[in-house]
A and B are shown apart, each in its own frame.
Chain A
Amino acid sequence: MSEESATTNNVSRRNLLRLGAAGGAGAAVVAAQGWAGPLLAQKGLLSPDGAFAASSTALGDLLFYIEAFPTSPLILTPFKDQLPIPKALAPTPAVGDGFTKGYTEWSDPPGPGQGQQSSFKNERHQIWPNTIGSPDPVVYKIDLLLRQHAFTTSQVLPIDANGRPTISFDEKRKTYPAGTKRMLPLSTIYGFNGQFPGPMINAEYGKPALVRFENHLDENPLNLDRQDFGSPDWSFLTHLHNGHTAPESDGNPHYTMVSGPKYEGYMPQTFCDNLYLNWPAGNDDREKQSFFWFHDHRMDHTGSNVYKGMVGLYPIYDPKNGMDMGDERQGLRLPGVRKDNPDGSFDVDYDIPLAFYDCRLDDGVTMHKDIHDVQKEFPAAKNPAKHPEWWGKTFYKHFPNHGFVGDIFTVNGTANPVMEVKRRKYRFRFLDASIARIYEFKLMSSTKGPKSSVSLGYKGDELEGQYRIPDAQQCMQFTQIASDGGLLPFPIKRDSFELWPAKRREVVVDFSRYQDGTPTTKGDVIYLTNVMKMPNGRMWSNSSRFAPDPSYKVPMIKIVIGDDAPDDSQIPVKMRDLPPLPGNWQTMLDNRLIFEVERGSGGGETEWLINGKPFVPDTVATSLKNRAGRSPLAQQKKGSYNLWEIRNGGGGWVHPFHLHMEEHRTVMRNGRDVTRGGDKSHPDDVSREDLVALDPGESVIIYRGFRDFVGPYVAHCHNLAHEDHAMMFGWEITP
């Protein structure tokens, strides 16, 4: 019957439609699980909330925050420039010698009196060394200068994002055809004493140091183009990361906005005396640290100032009982041969600081455009505009939605350096001075050596780092001896370790043997290699902990084994005990202070918030409601201790969260007690730190003290793009 067959036809068509719709949905779910699932899991987004965060991020990237970064020209002959090894800065004598003035002869000499702390003459040093039984400080003078810097002496080949040769320019905007090999112009920097990295001060516990930072950034003797980054009013503010320092010497905007300059930083032709007591918190030897660095902290422009060169090094030794005084024949016998200089400073051989910094060089065709241009901070640049005249100089973006990472990796200011080492043990002090990049280091050897990523067929973000060693194999281990907070209780053997922005980690490497026991021979080559792929400022895409990419092995330093040398150093069994944790710390959990770092759109450039609030410099933040039902202010009594919780608000970002003033100790990670170690991803949780490394979705509870000083401090994300866009909060110590 026709009626019947029509109905059958109808029914089968219905079923077909139903089947198609169900099948389509099913396929979509399966595809989403197979493809997006692992991706989301790595970013901590495999949850209902995470799915929304991922979708928000995707929308943001696709529709709202479209940004282009230049591809730096390819360095053609890498590993020819020597790794610069900084020498200790000479102090300023009390009385001059006819060439230079002694500090007692300065028109405003440093001292303990009222008005003697800065050129504003409105503050004094909270604790002068004599009140804690220390001698008067060794005085250093560091000028902020507008100068130039070369990252490489190699020829370069201008390439585009696909790795193809492309056009380039010179300072007169003359165009060079694709394929022309070029020399790089010098990059403009704002530097401590005009150099990058800035000077290194070798400090010692018990010997206070006073550094007069004087701003000469308004002077332009070389008639340089300042480009469009660096604080637009040329102000600076120096923070010693992470000295136990009084607020007026700490270089934090919570202080400067209400006292001293009453401004975000110190303007040109002003100075500030930062007094570093080189005295452990609470005068407790167990609080001694070993490696600081000083860098700019000018509010809203920390990232651009640091990127423009304001980085200095500050290893600190402990002469007490010769424990760690740079002499491998004494105390812990860590590698180091100390040479005392006639000017009062000292240098330590085989003890080498390594400051890592990534940058991007302008390709002359990328548009310079961000919110800072709307605000007319750099009117001379006439942005939005392209700047062919800046070709080959450092490129910066203040307000990157994805965070800012470079594609040229430098060590101590030099891209792809080479270093000859003796066949003996070395101490390396690693520092990440990058805006956002996290590294993971391995010591690797290779028979075929590095190949440019372009020649291996990589494109886009995969070009970051410029070179790879396809056949590299791990050949040595590190012995980690210290983290941010100084020497660990005991050394830890590591195949690799991560270095987050502003973090320090110290290791001993024995260049006389490989990890399998075979001795090294002169001429052997080892590469310090970065194996963490971090395509943008959000987080890694691949690392040993999550989804390792065995083909991402970027050589950072070429290490060439040289002659034998005497080695009196030893790797100790035990180093510095941790300060005690009260037995009842768990009872403090209910009343802890809670701070959640979040990504949020406050509009304009307020994108990074804490507890839903942007940084307000004259204000103390409020904790989220804790288990005791209170939302306390971030105020602590002097001499008190407390638990603070730092939470990652999610969204697929990682945050290196830094707290000024005292080192802390991690007691809980994601709700688990880690006071006895045990977290495989963070083996040095059993150390003191000043930076909480927050994986996606992590929450970390730290125990910290508030000793010796009173006044305003800050805590902030050390992804400097986050810090500069409000991910900071003020807190204070009350008498």
Chain B
Amino acid sequence: MTAVPAGTANWSSSGTGAPAPARPAVPWLTIIPLAAMMAYADGFWMVSLRGAVGAIERTQEPFASWLRESTVLLPAFVLAVIAAVTLALRWFGPLLAGKKAFLTTALLVAAAGTVAGTVILAASEAWDYALQHDLMGSLHHASSVQSVEQLDQASLGLQLTAFGYGVGLLLVTNLVVTGWTVAIRGGRLDVSRQQKATPRRTPRRAVTGRARTVATDLRQTLAAVALFGSAAIHLAVIPDHLSHWVVASAFFLALALAEVAGGVLLLGRPGLNVLVAVAVASVVPLVLWVWSRTSGLPFGPNSNAPEPVGLADVAACLLELGTLVIALVLLRARRRETGEPERRTAASAHLRALAVVGAIAIGSLGVAGAVPGWLGELPSSGDTTHSVTH
């Protein structure tokens, strides 16, 4: 029996023993399970921590919250894992050779998941603290000894402690989960996949999906995804507006349809007019948003009253801003290089995936933020001071 280099034979990627792929593709089969495991495991801790120290508005029905939030945040974890894998690809090449490369990659993946989890945890706890702060403010114990600041201080301290422990829990969990996921896949941890699939594996995908994506410019793909994302967010806010402002709902519906159309056209070979239309479809909501959040719109049920900034509208704006920038860049490129054959950006599949998943992550957050109660934002039922004097 000839010794096969330990790293390659026991731990490496492809299992077919095929030579390194010429142009590495994204190993989705590795990335998605890792991201999903980390998203749901980290989500468990986040929801549990919230149950211990979080705001009460966000602690009801923890199981549903966990399912919902982990799913909404899944793209963020996918993004993190792609980033880790991309880095590993840079460092070790398309095939992981040796235990060191393998372990470093696994650690990178767990660390990236932890970074994503930490950012989410921080946002979640900041929100808890804000809600608790509001609750404290609404308390008016007349007793001189109880001061709101002291209670506030106490809840802030608790949130900070919880954050500290939370990061530790996430890190340990992600290490375990990464290890387990790699083990259950038979020790498989790929940083890349062969571009051209061998006939044995997934013959269909090679012809259909792949060819199409490769053909499209990354910038176009990105703008299309961003448009789809903001369309989804705009669709999601329709029900909430329906009750008090039908005109706004109609506007959001029209906008969403326009965005979907723009996205579809962008995926093809967009002409000048399509690019201009996309730019306009991005500028209009951006202008309206800035207007409504600063001085307030001069029409509608709450005219001239600035609206509060929320997760959904910020996410939509980010996506629209991205689309706008890309549309302008494409327009400029087109004007400069008229007549020349279209130049493709030579981004690697990994970078391409990073950008696209990033846009999806923002869209996913935005959609979740638009549905009342989904990320815990509930309409508060106001108590009323009692009316009878006695």
Give residues in A with beta carbon < 8 Å to B.
Answer: 2-3, 5-7, 9-10, 13-15, 17-18, 20-22, 24-25, 47-49, 51-53, 55-57, 59-60, 63-64, 126, 232-233, 247, 257, 259, 262-264, 299-300, 371, 374-377, 598, 600-606, 609, 611-614, 616-622, 631, 633, 635, 649, 651, 710-712, 730, 732, 734-735
Query: Given known contacts A10-B10, A609-B56, what 9 new A-B pairs fall within 8 Å (CB)?
Result: A6-B1, A6-B9, A18-B184, A64-B52, A64-B158, A126-B390, A299-B141, A710-B390, A735-B388
Cβ-defined contact, B384 with A604, below 8 A: no
Q: Mark B29-73, 1 if CB is under 8 A from A, else 0.
A: 000000000000000100111111111110111111010000000
Cβ-defined contact, B147 with A613, below 8 A: no
The listed residue (A22, A264, A603) touching B151 by CB distance below 8 A is: A603
Query: Nearest CB to that of B133 among chain A residues?
Result: A603
Q: Mark B66-84, 1 if CB is under 8 A from A, else 0.
A: 1000000000000000000
Query: Nearest CB to that of A732 among chain B residues?
Result: B386
The answer to the question of B135 belonging to the interface, with a C-beta cut-off of 8 Å to chain A, is yes
Q: What is the bound-complex CA distance between A631 and B390, given in angstroms? A: 25
User: Given A618-B385, A735-B388, A371 and B154 touching (CB < 8 A)?
Assistant: yes
Q: What is the bound-complex CA distance between A598 and B62, given in angstroms? A: 13
The listed residue (B59, B61, B150, B151) touching A606 by CB distance below 8 A is: B151
Cβ-defined contact, A63 with B165, below 8 A: yes
Cβ-defined contact, A614 with B390, below 8 A: no
Cβ-defined contact, A730 with B386, below 8 A: yes
Cβ-defined contact, B56 with A63, below 8 A: no
Classify the interface of chain B: helix, strand, loop or mixed: helix
Cβ-closest 10 pairs across A and B: A603-B155, A600-B56, A56-B51, A604-B151, A14-B186, A2-B2, A48-B63, A52-B62, A603-B132, A21-B183
Cβ-defined contact, B10 with A13, below 8 A: yes
The answer to the question of B162 belonging to the interface, with a C-beta cut-off of 8 Å to chain A, is yes
Cβ-defined contact, A24 with B180, below 8 A: yes
Cβ-defined contact, B383 with A613, below 8 A: yes
Q: What is the bound-complex CA distance between A22 and B52, given in angstroms? A: 31
Chain A residues near B385 (CB-CB < 8 A): 618-620
Give residues in B with beta carbon < 8 Å to A.
Answer: 1-2, 4, 9-10, 15, 17, 44, 47-57, 59-64, 66, 128-129, 132-133, 135-136, 138-143, 145-147, 150-156, 158, 161-162, 165, 180, 183-188, 381-388, 390
CB distance from B388 to the nearest CB of A (A): 5
Cβ-defined contact, B154 with A603, below 8 A: yes
User: Given A10-B10, A735-B388, A375 and B381 touching (CB < 8 A)?
Assistant: no
Query: Nearest CB to that of B4 among chain A residues?
Result: A6
Q: What is the bound-complex CA distance between A604 and B133, given in angstroms? A: 10
The listed residue (A259, A600, A620) touching B390 by CB distance below 8 A is: A259
Cβ-defined contact, A606 with B135, below 8 A: yes
Query: Nearest CB to that of A711 among chain B residues?
Result: B390
Cβ-defined contact, B56 with A257, below 8 A: no
Chain A residues near B188 (CB-CB < 8 A): 14
Q: What is the bound-complex CA distance between A68 and B330, given in angstroms? A: 67
Q: What is the bound-complex CA distance between A64 and B62, given in angstroms? A: 19
Q: What is the bound-complex CA distance between A609 and B1, given in angstroms? A: 70
The listed residue (A603, A616, A620) touching B152 by CB distance below 8 A is: A603
Q: What is the bound-complex CA distance between A5 and B50, given in angstroms? A: 52
Chain B residues near A55 (CB-CB < 8 A): 44, 48, 51
Q: What is the bound-complex CA distance between A377 and B143, given in angstroms? A: 11
Query: Nearest CB to that of A60 among chain B residues?
Result: B52
CB distance from A492 to the nearest CB of B (A): 38
Q: What is the bound-complex CA distance between A611 and B133, given in angstroms? A: 18
Cβ-defined contact, B133 with A620, below 8 A: no
Chain B residues near A299 (CB-CB < 8 A): 141, 143
Query: Nearest CB to that of A18 among chain B residues?
Result: B186
Q: What is the bound-complex CA distance between A481 and B34, given in angstroms? A: 64
The listed residue (A2, A3, A603, A651) touching B135 by CB distance below 8 A is: A603
CB distance from A171 to the nearest CB of B (A): 27
Cβ-defined contact, A17 with B56, below 8 A: no
User: Given A6-B9, A371-B154, A618-B385, A601 and B52 touching (CB < 8 A)?
Assistant: yes
24 sampled A-B residue pairs with Cβ under 8 A: A2-B2, A10-B15, A13-B186, A52-B66, A53-B62, A55-B48, A56-B52, A59-B49, A60-B52, A63-B161, A64-B53, A233-B145, A264-B143, A374-B153, A601-B52, A602-B155, A611-B381, A619-B383, A622-B382, A633-B386, A635-B386, A712-B388, A734-B387, A735-B388
